[in-house]
Amino acid sequence: MSDLVGKHIVLGLSGGIACYKAAELCRAMTREGATVQVVMTAAAEQFITPVTMQALSNRTVYGSHDVSGFDAREANGMPHINLSREADAIVVAPCSADFMAKLLHGRADDLLSLMCLARPIATVPLLLAPAMNREMWAHPATQRNMAQLAADGATILGVGSGFQACGETGDGRMLEPPELLDDLIAFFQPKPLAGRQVLVTAGPTFEAIDPVRGLTNRSSGKMGFAIARAAREAGAAVTLVAGPVALPTPRGVTRVDVRSAREMLDATQAHLPARGVFVATAAVADWRPAEVKTEKIKKQDDGALPQLEFVENPDILATVAATPQAVQGELYCVGFAAESHDLLAHAQAKRARKKVPLLVGNIGPDTFGQDDNALVLVDAHGSRELPRASKLALARQLVADIAARLDRPHAEGVAR
């Protein structure tokens, strides 16, 4: 989607084996449209060469030999000033325990630390991706340093857990490049839902007939997962109740996996915020077998067909819309309608029937399993179309629309 077009990132590398991940991170940022200026410490150069980073960034790398006041490439001899003023953000990945301690105390004995100290704090954010041994990570000194750096305005991106180069296993690994990229993209997104809670349901449900068969639908869950990601990017604390889908959990989102409609209802009620937003994108099965057979139903020699009786599943959206917090406007409910025809008419009717302030419609066969979609937003005042685009782009538009409704002082059914 080229989410970083127009952004200029200074990528700093301090010493650590995780420098090999910085190469892929650099490539990923350029693929998203960013320009990347690499600055390396002497320790970083022991793990990866400036030539590698230059090839990936397509820019001259500033390394351990580039000391402020002695760089002939800079007209004023001040790369620590020039590089920091040009940046939209400085990302140090990997950021070693030693480099964090250096930043904490304001030491500036190499170009990278000097540049971080000289950056305009109000306009050039500093993002740190720690990387170290598990004992170093857990040490009280490291934890104190990180807390103070965060208090001083730096953003700590956290760490991963797993096997480490030293042979030990635990917390302290640098996050993987795709995770860091997601965090960086999210960092630059507007935060209109900051401080709010959002609950999203996504994907199909599966209603068992016997131990090997069941009723489901073609929903891939991609739209709901995109909305969960967009809401998290917008600053919300997001819980995602997901039916049986094979999708990775969006960064920073709490995921609850379910299978049947009744399980989805139970999980929704258990995680429903008292105040906030509920977005029901899941394609919930309308019916389920009245009886689940304990053994596989076999074909009959005479060709007789099995007789199945169905009962109606609970209506999750209508149930939530009828809760006191939704009725009183503390919980803003958004429903989805996947139709095969007459989209606007069906969406308007469903919105009125479910008693929700906003209903989002789409043509199911045109979107199931696809990476793009087209939406129509229906409320009490009419409708608005969102033209076909990627599901993430649409999710961001929808989240922005919901946030704007929450901010309207007299909006119908909107939490204040």
261-300 residue pLDDT tens: 999 999 999 999 989 999 999 999 999 999 999 999 999 8
- pLDDT of 396 reads 97
Q: Which residues are catalytic?
A: 166
- Average pLDDT of the segment spanning 180-199: 97
Instruction: Report which DSSP code applies to 45.
Output: G
Distance, in Å, from the CA atom of 164 to the CA atom of 138, rounded to the nearest integer, reads 14
φ and ψ of 376, to 5 deg = -125, 130
Residue-range domains of the chain with CATH: 8-188 (3.40.50.1950), 197-407 (3.40.50.10300)
Per DSSP (E only), the strands in 175-317 are: 197-202, 207-208, 214-215, 237-242, 254-257, 276-280, 287-289, 310-312
Distance, in Å, from the CA atom of 134 to the CA atom of 171, rounded to the nearest integer, reads 5
pLDDT digits (tens, 9 = 90+) for 132-177: 999 999 999 999 999 999 999 999 999 999 999 989 999 999 999 9
Distance, in Å, from the CA atom of 10 to the CA atom of 115, rounded to the nearest integer, reads 10
Tokens of 296: 């596989």
Residue 111 predicted with pLDDT over 50: yes
- pLDDT of 416 reads 33
Decide the pairing of beta strands 287-289 and 310-312: antiparallel
Read off the pLDDT band of 68 (50, 70, 90): low
Q: What is the mean pLDDT of the chain?
A: 92
Instruction: Report which DSSP code applies to 205.
Output: -
pLDDT digits (tens, 9 = 90+) for 240-253: 999 999 999 999 99
Residue where the block lists tokens 């320009």: 35
**Which range has the top average pLDDT, 107-111, 245-249, 342-346?**
245-249
Q: Tell how far CA 407 is from the center of its chain.
A: 23
φ and ψ of 99, to 5 deg = -70, -35
- pLDDT of 365 reads 66
Distance, in Å, from the CA atom of 107 to the CA atom of 72, rounded to the nearest integer, reads 24
Alpha helices in 280-377 (DSSP H): 316-321, 324-327, 343-354, 364-367
pTM here is 0.91
